[in-house]
Structure 1
Amino acid sequence: MRETLRLTPTAPARTVAPFEDTTVGGKYLIHKGESIIVNTYDCQRDKKVWGQDADEFKPERMLDGKYEAMPRQAWQAFGYGLRACIGGSFAWQEAQIALVTIFQQFDLVMDDPTYQLQIKQTLSIKPKNLFIRASPRKDKPRLFALPTINNGYPAKA
């Protein structure tokens, strides 16, 4: 999931403004309250951080302590610092739970096995014309929610 969000962040750019006059990189003065746009899409493909293969999908770059060893602000799928998305941790957990649930209950097959990734960008980045078929797994029991009577309280006599 980290590598996917690195290459295709849901918010490819965001606007920030400093709380006080700030010099960025030792040469760019940004005044308090001035808006700047952070291009997350390009930041997370910086070859100085990610290597010459920065545009390639390589999940192993996030494994075995490599993610923890990189510069703190290198991966910014949910922003960074005081202005990071307050729902980032929740979104991360929710995505993990959703994926695990889907993989436990369904077999997934690409609708077109020859599909080549194309990006569609609106407010967020998403695959264009990607379709996946989900079939209930035959070896797993299906879970159904049953309605309760009177919100779980015993019926009145």
Structure 2
Amino acid sequence: MLKKYNLTQYLVFIALVFSFETNCASLTQVQNLSFGSLVPKSGSCEMDPSNGQIILGASFCLRNSKQGQYQLISGANERFRIRIYTSVDADYDIAFEQKFILSNDYGTSIDGIAGVAEEIITGSDGIINIDIGGILNINETIPAALSISFSFDIEYQAL
């Protein structure tokens, strides 16, 4: 005896199994990173990414430093790979080697350094906090009244 199967039911089942929802992540700047006032000479200083305090080179980076704060926003409990790239300004021979902290509302905290990818999940609120500090190296005397800006890339990928 030959049995017939309803092909429509199988197609509907397959469509339900393979349906998915795409979710776009966005990166938002919460606080601009600043090393504050610098002595107009060559030198270096290091900023703690957790609080923005200068921990090495306080005679070079004098005051008003603030760590950079960013938020990666997506759906809850999504895994991301995050990498931050070193910034170099060839005009004034300046390099900024980032140190950063990734955290979520579950209490997970991961320390990272420039160029090395770290993985973390978004919290129940869908947010990964990224606090950035690091080492500022100025290898050339800069003019006293000059304001220096530099940019760096934050790369993120949903896994």
TM-score by shorter chain over 0.5: no
Larger Rg: 2
* TM-score w.r.t. length of structure 2: 0.22
